[in-house]
C-alpha cells in the first residue's frame, strides 16, 4: 500500500494553477478539513476490491465499467462526495465506520445517483472540465499514445474561474438527496444487493442533526438527512424485493480484508496489535503482519506474512505485501522474486508491476534495468494518473542511459502533481535530445502547452 501524498504546497500551487484542483481544494475546505495535506491511498488490492463491490452498481446505473473513478482519501472524517464529474472520493473514516459491504455499496450507489442525476451540472458547473488530476492524466495518456492536439481540453479547463469551482460542493438540496436515494435503491435492487445497507449508513450519521453544523460529519452537511428522508428510505427498504439478499462470501471476504489493511496501515501499530491480541484467523494475521512491519519488527512481520502465504500461496496481493516489506527493509532481490510471482498471477495490476520494477532497479544488478524499464513503461501506460510509477520509471531511464526520457517522465510526474514550473523545466531539458515530431517530443510539447495555459490562468 502506498500513500500518495499531495503536500499542502502542491495543493496550494495546484489551486492557483488549475481549476480542476481548485474544485478539489474547494471541496475539501467546504468539508472543513484541515487544509494542511491531502493524501490519496493507492493499493492494488483495495482498488480491485472496490471494483468488485461496485461493478454491478455501475452497470445498473448504465455506466461503463471505467466511467467512474474512485479515490481513497486518507482522512478520519466520515465523508464521501462527487467532484469533477464522475469522480467519487471516499474517506478512510467512512470506509472504517461502515462495517458491511452493503453499507459501503449504498454510499457509492448514492453518490452514483448524484452523478447520473447530473446534480453537479445543475449548479452550472461544466463538470467534465473539472476532472481533477485525472484530467491532466488523461491528456498525458492521450499524448503517450501519440495523439497530437489533445491539450485543448486542458486549456479550456484552465480558463474557468474560481467562483465556478467553489459552487461545486455546496450541499445538495432535499430534492436532490431524495432523487439520489431513489436512484441508489434502484441500483442496489437491480444489482441484487440488500438495500438495508443504506439504513446502516443513515443510522451512523443520524442524530447529528441536533449537533451544531461545525461538529457534524462533513457528509451530513453535504448530504442533509431529514426525518422525511430517513423514513422514505426505511419504508422502501422494508418493501424491497432485495431485502435479505446476501452478497457473495467472496465479496464479504475482500471487504473485510480491505478494512483490515486500511486499519493496519493507518492506525498506530501498537494499538492495532493490542486490538488483535487475542484473535486468530487470517484477518488478525494480516493486521499483525502490517503492524509489526510498521513498528518495525522485521522478524515478527515476516513470520506473519509467511502465515498468510501458507494460507493463500497464490494470492498476488499477499505476495505483493511480502515484496513491499522486503523492499522496504533492503532485501531487493527477495522482493523482486515475490513481486515477480505476484505479477505472474495478476499481470494487469499496474501497481504490482510498478513495485516489481522498483525492486528490480533496487537490486542494482547489471541488465536488470532493461527488464525494469519494460515493466515500468507498461505500468505507467496502464495508470496514467500515478506519480509513483513515473518516479521509478525516470530512475530506470537514467539507469539505462536515457537521460532525455528520464527528464520527460519527470516532467509528466510534476505535471500530474500540479508543479507546472518544474514540469516545464524538465520538459525543456528533455526536448533537444528528443526526435522532433516523434511520440516523446509530442509528449514534451503537451507539457509545455499545459504549463503555458496554467501561466495565463494565474
Binding site for Zn ion (CB under 5 A): 172, 177, 180, 223
Q: Is the peptide bond before 296 cis (omega within 30 degrees of 0)?
A: yes
Q: How far is the CB of 171 from Zn ion (least distance, A)?
A: 9
Length of the chain: 458
**Alpha-helical runs (H) found in 191-311:** 196-205, 218-222, 227-239, 249-266, 269-275, 282-294, 298-311
Q: What is the four-CA torsion angle of 207, 208, 211, 217, rounded to 10 degrees? A: 170
Q: C-beta of 110: minimal distance to Zn ion in Å?
A: 6
Residue nearest to Zn ion (CB): 223
User: Quick check: 292 and 304 in contact, CB under 8 A?
Assistant: yes
Grid cell digits, residue 13? 500551487
Measure the CA–CA gap between 429 and 411, rounded to whole angstroms. Answer: 9
Which one, 104 or 286, has the nearer CB to Zn ion?
A: 104
Residue listed under C-alpha cell 485525472: 134
**From the CB of 179, what's the least distance to Zn ion, in Å?**
9
Nearer to Zn ion, 177 or 320 (CB): 177
Of the two residues 180 and 362, which places its CB atom closer to Zn ion in the complex?
A: 180
Q: For residues 18 and 77, which CB has a smaller minimum distance to Zn ion in the complex? A: 77
90 phi and psi, to 5 degrees? -115, 130
Question: What is d(CA 150, CA 142) in angstroms, rounded to the nearest whole number?
Answer: 7
Smallest distance, Å, CB 196 to Zn ion?
Answer: 18
SS3 87: strand
Q: 223 vs 358, which CB is nearer to Zn ion? A: 223
The distance between the two most distant Cα atoms of the chain, rounded to a whole number of Å, is 68
What is the closest distance, in whole angstroms, from the C-beta atom of residue 223 to Zn ion in the complex? Answer: 3
By C-beta, is 89 or 172 nearer to Zn ion? Answer: 172
Cβ 118 to Zn ion, closest distance in Å? 13
Amino acid at each position: 500500500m502506498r500513500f500518495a501524498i499531495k503536500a499542502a504546497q502542491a495543493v496550494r500551487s495546484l489551486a492557483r494553477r488549475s481549476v480542476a484542483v481548485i474544485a478539489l481544494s474547494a471541496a475539501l475546505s467546504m468539508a472543513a478539513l484541515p487544509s494542511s495535506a491531502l493524501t490519496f491511498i493507492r493499493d492494488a488490492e483495495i482498488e480491485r476490491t472496490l471494483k468488485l463491490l461496485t461493478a454491478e452498481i455501475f452497470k445498473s446505473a448504465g455506466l461503463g465499467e471505467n466511467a467512474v473513478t474512485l479515490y481513497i482519501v486518507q482522512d478520519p472524517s466520515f465523508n464521501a462526495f462527487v467532484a469533477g464529474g464522475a469522480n467519487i472520493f471516499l474517506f478512510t473514516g467512512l470506509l472504517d465506520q461502515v462495517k458491511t459491504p452493503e453499507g459501503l455499496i449504498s454510499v457509492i450507489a448514492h453518490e452514483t445517483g448524484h452523478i447520473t442525476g447530473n446534480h453537479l451540472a445543475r449548479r452550472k458547473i461544466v463538470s467534465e472540465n473539472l476532472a481533477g488530476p485525472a484530467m491532466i492524466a488523461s491528456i498525458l495518456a492521450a499524448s503517450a499514445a501519440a495523439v497530437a492536439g489533445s491539450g485543448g481540453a486542458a486549456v479550456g479547463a484552465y480558463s474557468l474561474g474560481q467562483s465556478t469551482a467553489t459552487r461545486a460542493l455546496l450541499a445538495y438540496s432535499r430534492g436532490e438527496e431524495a432523487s439520489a436515494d431513489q436512484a441508489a435503491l434502484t441500483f442496489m435492487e437491480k444489482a441484487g444487493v440488500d438495500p438495508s445497507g443504506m439504513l446502516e449508513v443513515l443510522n451512523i450519521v443520524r442524530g447529528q442533526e441536533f449537533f451544531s453544523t461545525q461538529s457534524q460529519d462533513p457528509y451530513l452537511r453535504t448530504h442533509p438527512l431529514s426525518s422525511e428522508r430517513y423514513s422514505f428510505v426505511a419504508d422502501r427498504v422494508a418493501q424491497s424485493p432485495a431485502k435479505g439478499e446476501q452478497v457473495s462470501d467472496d465479496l464479504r471476504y475482500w471487504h473485510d480484508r480491505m478494512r483490515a489493511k486500511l486499519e493496519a496501515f493507518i492506525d498506530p501499530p501498537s494499538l492495532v496489535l493490542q486490538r488483535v491480541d487475542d484473535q486468530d484467523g487470517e484477518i488478525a494475521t494480516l493486521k499483525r503482519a502490517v503492524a509489526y512491519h510498521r513498528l518495525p519488527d522485521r522478524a515478527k512481520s515476516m513470520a506473519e506474512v509467511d502465515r498468510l502465504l501458507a494460507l493463500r500461496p497464490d494470492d498476488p496481493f499477499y505476495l505483493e505485501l511480502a515484496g513491499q516489506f522486503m523492499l522496504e527493509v533492503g532485501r531487493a532481490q527477495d522482493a523482486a522474486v515475490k513481486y515477480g510471482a505476484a505479477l505472474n498471477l495478476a499481470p494487469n495490476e499496474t501497481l504490482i508491476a510498478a513495485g516489481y520494477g522498483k525492486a528490480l532497479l533496487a537490486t542494482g544488478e547489471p541488465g536488470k534495468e532493461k527488464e525494469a524499464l519494460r515493466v515500468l513503461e507498461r505500468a505507467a501506460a496502464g495508470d496514467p494518473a500515478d506519480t509513483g510509477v513515473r518516479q521509478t520509471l525516470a530512475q530506470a531511464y537514467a539507469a539505462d542511459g536515457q537521460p532525455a526520457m528520464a527528464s520527460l517522465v519527470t516532467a509528466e510526474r510534476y505535471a500530474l502533481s500540479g508543479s507546472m514550473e518544474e514540469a516545464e523545466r524538465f520538459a525543456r531539458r528533455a526536448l533537444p535530445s528528443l526526435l522532433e515530431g516523434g511520440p516523446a517530443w509530442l509528449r514534451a510539447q503537451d507539457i509545455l502547452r499545459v504549463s503555458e495555459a496554467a501561466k495565463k490562468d494565474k
